[in-house]
Amino acid sequence: PGDIVADFERRRLRNHHVNLEAIALASEGVLDPLLITADDTAEHSAGSVEQVWLRQWTRVLPIAGEVLMYPGADEVAAVLVARQLAAHFGVTPRFTVECADPPGMERIAKYENSPMREAVERQIRASGSLVVNDPGAMVLVVHAPDPKRRDHCGMVIDRSGQHDANGAAFDVADTAEAVKTADLIATLLAAGRDVALADLRYSNGRRGILLDIVAYGGWNTAGNALGSVVAAAAAIQIGRAAGTLDAGAAQRMLLHRLIEDYAYMTLARNPYNAGVYSFRDRGEEARAEAAVADDLDASLKRLTGRLDLGITNVTFPWHRSFEIDFTIVGDLA
């Protein structure tokens, strides 16, 4: 209906006004850096057209600072915290970027509007870090986006045949690319490199090497996962350089991401995969919390081999299956 379309367009116009004013503030030196990020903004969406107009203003206005436009949103606060830590301690985190499927770095991930190569470079810059060609730097390994642009949420993986919710089999390339990425990580670890993994094969998306990496991100849009792992990996580098790293906290964060992004989002969430499932009442939600807690606790013990670690305080913050929170208990010092 016309009134709905008009309401949508007015909201877009208001949003565009805000972005234009932010660019004006950047040109006056008030904002530096300015990060204009966009979640769920596909290649040919209204938001992508607006970014063309915004880039023109960043070209013609005198802007001494940095303006970055790239896919993301949920992860931005973490990225800015990493940037502020870098500035506070005078440390510039450094990354080399590796991908077992180099052409995959030119793909545009589902729900996004720029090649993964650009997204990776801009997320790293946004965090106050640098991409370098140095065999001593931490490695950001990118498991490249799926060329079929599928969504892991809703794909039911069973041990008999691996199929998605529509009955379509995972193709051989899925397994082959996962093996190539795992082999790459194993090789880098064997060479003594620190490795962070951005697991971006699917939106909403394993081998005994997972606990040997320093940071992991693998759920929601590629930008959300990518920025989250960059922020964590940058913070670890800063903490090491500044002598303030809490190794137990870093390990707890790695485990939290593995349990949430993999054990919940691709396994325990399966019964609630009907889109964004909202619980009918508090009773249903409480039963789901208890069932999920048992599943995640078992996954944590299986992953770590430690019976003294556990999962408590499982909650659905927005009373729907799309987000989850929990606490990992046990000594990780």
Provide mean pLDDT across the span 4-8. 96
Provide mean pLDDT across the span 38-66. 93
Give the residue, 177 or 304, on which the prediction is more confident: 304
HSE-CB at 234 with a 13 A cutoff on CA atoms is 31
pLDDT tens digits, one per residue of 56-78: 999 999 999 999 999 999 999 99
Give the residue, 200 or 316, on which the prediction is more confident: 316
pLDDT at 219: 80
Least confident of 154-158, 258-262, 281-285: 154-158
pLDDT at 166: 46
Residues in the chain, how many? 333
Whether 269 shows a pLDDT value over 80: the answer reads yes
Tokens of 53: 């107009």
Tokens of 325: 């929170």
Q: What is the mean pLDDT of the chain?
A: 90
User: Measuring CA to CA, which residue among 57, 55, 56, 80 is closest to residue 69?
Assistant: 55
Q: Please state, for a pLDDT cut of 70, what percent of the chain lies above it.
A: 90
Whether 157 shows a pLDDT value over 90: the answer reads no
pLDDT at 321: 92
State the residue for tokens 């830590």.
Answer: 85
pLDDT tens digits, one per residue of 173-225: 777 888 899 999 999 999 999 999 999 876 554 566 788 999 999 888 899 99
Give the residue, 6 or 269, on which the prediction is more confident: 6
Give phi and psi for 60, each to the nearest 5. -90, -25
Tokens of 6: 């008009």
Provide mean pLDDT across the span 142-146. 89
pLDDT at 161: 46
Give the residue, 161 or 308, on which the prediction is more confident: 308
Give the residue, 171 or 121, on which the prediction is more confident: 121
pLDDT tens digits, one per residue of 85-106: 999 999 999 999 999 999 999 9
Beta strands across the sheet bearing 130-131: 130-131, 94-98, 138-143, 195-199, 215-217
Instruction: Tell me the CA distances in angstroms from 292 to 87, 153, 173, 229, 309, one per residue in order.
Output: 40, 16, 31, 24, 16
Q: b/e map of 74-92 (b: 16 or more CB within 10 Å)?
A: bbbebbbebbebbeeeebe
CA dihedral 275, 257, 199, 205 (to 10 degrees): -20
Provide mean pLDDT across the span 225-239. 97
Q: Provide the pLDDT confidence category of residue 160 given band limits of 50, 70 and 90.
A: very low
